[in-house]
Amino acid sequence: MDKENSRGSSSGDDRIDRGLDLLRHMQIDSLTLSEIVDRIEMISSDPAITRSILEQATTHGILSRENGSIRKGVHHPGATAEPTVEQRTGEYQCRRCGSSLKKGYFLVLDSGEMGPFGPTCVTYLTGRDDYWDIIFLSPSH
Ligand SMILES: [Zn+2]
């Protein structure tokens, strides 16, 4: 009945794939390590997983380290992708800050969805503040 999502990848942990996916969809040029780790912790609070995500992101050119800060590897094909955010009405609780929501924002990644988040937290995660337009200029209220 319930199909486990068990594609036999060699790394054996889809949290790493999800972490890389999240980093790829972040529209943020430059971050400190702690800012990145804070976001990766949405996927895993395991320091070993966090380290693997960071290492692989660097290997794949999604991130590059420069003078103590970390930059998106914008020059590498596939290193960046437009984030897609879906808005759904319902009783939700923000996965990041725990606030209760009447609308949930879901970050749609290739590896699956993340959410729900409130508007502030989805902006924080994606680095895209133009979602505020979508969120607050929606035609109906
Ligand atoms: Zn939140």
Domain locations along the chain: 14-72, 84-136
Query: Could you tell me the pLDDT band of residue 140, with boundaries at 50, 70 and 90?
Result: very low
Q: Contacts by 57-60 with C-beta closer than 8 Å and gap 24+?
A: 57/19, 57/20, 57/23, 60/20
| Both tokens assigned to 5 | 């999502």
Q: Ligand 1 mean position to 127 CA, how many Å?
A: 14
Give me the sign of the Cα torsion angle 66, 70, 73, 75: negative
Q: Ligand 1 mean position to 105 CA, how many Å?
A: 10
pLDDT tens sequence across 128-138 = 766 555 555 44
Q: In whole angstroms, what is the distance from residue 15 CA to residue 99 CA? A: 24
Those residues whose beta carbon sits under 5 angstroms from the ion ligand 1 are 94, 96-97, 118, 121
Closest CA to 86 of 116, 107, 110, 102: 107
How large is the angle between the packed helices 47-59 and 14-25, nearest 10 degrees? 60
Whole-structure pTM value: 0.79
pLDDT tens sequence across 89-104 = 999 999 999 999 999 9
